[in-house]
């Protein structure tokens, strides 16, 4: 079942590249007592994800933080090494956390997995964004297949600025 506005984010763990190599990040630590924008892309280095989705969040990261966002996180069903390399190539730096959901476990927990086996990509996460306040979903923006509209950084900024 797909997560809904008003529900708590499920428990889980992501991987990210720390200074000494791959590290785990528990969702309680990521979402607890914070305002977080989590966005998901079907895959690192893919066209729309690399040309629009991730760069949009990098470019608006300062504005999102000015509106009270504590963290901006990009999630994809890729391994931690791919996510790290993509973040470096895109210039994400400290602006966007690059989180690996390598086995699609968190995408499944959210009910937002995507069967991309027809494209040779296996199970992936759908394209979406979620605004989380103190561990609870306040906004959920799920893209229709092949679309890139509602999960953009610009929409997240509008929602955060409106206090949603």
Predicted pLDDT of residue 112? 97
Q: Catalytic site residue 49?
A: yes
Please, how many CA atoms are within 13 Å of residue 41, restricted to the half-sphere of its CB? 26
User: Are the beta carbons of 57 and 96 closer than 8 angstroms?
Assistant: yes
> Has residue 78 been placed in a domain?
yes
> Has residue 45 been placed in a domain?
yes
Number of domains in the chain: 1
> Has residue 114 been placed in a domain?
yes
> Has residue 122 been placed in a domain?
yes
pLDDT over 70 at 164, yes or no = no
pLDDT over 70 at 90, yes or no = yes
Q: Would you place residue 40 in the very low, low, confident or very high pLDDT band (cuts 50, 70, 90)?
A: very high
Predicted structure pTM score:
0.95
Q: Which of 17-31, 74-88, 104-118, 129-143 has the lowest mean pLDDT?
A: 104-118
Question: Token digits for 136?
Answer: 């609870």
Looking at residue 65, which CATH number applies to its domain?
3.40.30.10
User: Are the beta carbons of 43 and 124 closer than 8 angstroms?
Assistant: yes
User: Are the beta carbons of 128 and 140 closer than 8 angstroms?
Assistant: yes
> Has residue 9 been placed in a domain?
no
Q: Measured between alpha carbons, how far is residue 94 from residues 18, 57, 64, 84 in Å? A: 12, 12, 14, 12
Predicted pLDDT of residue 120? 73
Predicted pLDDT of residue 127? 95
User: Are the beta carbons of 124 and 116 closer than 8 angstroms?
Assistant: yes
Predicted pLDDT of residue 83? 98
Average pLDDT over every residue of 99-104:
96
Q: What is the pLDDT of residues 54-87, one digit of tens each?
A: 999 999 999 999 999 999 999 999 999 999 999 9
Domain membership of residue 156 as a residue range: 23-161
CA angle in degrees (0–180, nearest 5) for 25-29-35:
120
> Has residue 1 been placed in a domain?
no
Q: Choose the catalytic residue: 9, 30, 38, 49.
A: 49
User: Are the beta carbons of 156 and 20 closer than 8 angstroms?
Assistant: no
> Has residue 4 been placed in a domain?
no
User: Are the beta carbons of 128 and 137 closer than 8 angstroms?
Assistant: no
> Has residue 17 been placed in a domain?
no
Q: What is the pLDDT of residues 106-119, one digit of tens each?
A: 999 999 998 787 78
């Amino acid at each position: 079942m797909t997560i809904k506005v008003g529900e708590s984010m499920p428990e889980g763990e992501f991987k990210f590249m720390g200074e000494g190599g791959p590290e785990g990040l528990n969702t309680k630590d990521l979402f607890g007592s914070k305002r977080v924008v989590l966005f998901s892309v079907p895959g690192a280095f893919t066209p729309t994800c690399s040309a629009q989705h991730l760069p949009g969040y990098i470019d608006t990261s300062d504005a999102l933080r000015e509106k009270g966002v504590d963290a901006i996180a990009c999630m994809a069903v890729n391994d931690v090494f791919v996510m790290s390399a993509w973040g470096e190539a895109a210039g994400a730096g400290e602006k966007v956390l690059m989180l690996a959901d390598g086995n699609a476990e968190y995408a499944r927990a959210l009910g937002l997995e995507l069967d991309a086996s027809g494209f040779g990509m296996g199970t992936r996460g759908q394209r979406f964004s979620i605004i989380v306040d103190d561990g609870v979903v306040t906004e959920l923006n799920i893209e229709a297949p092949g679309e890139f509209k509602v999960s953009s950084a610009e929409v997240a900024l509008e929602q955060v600025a409106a206090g949603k």
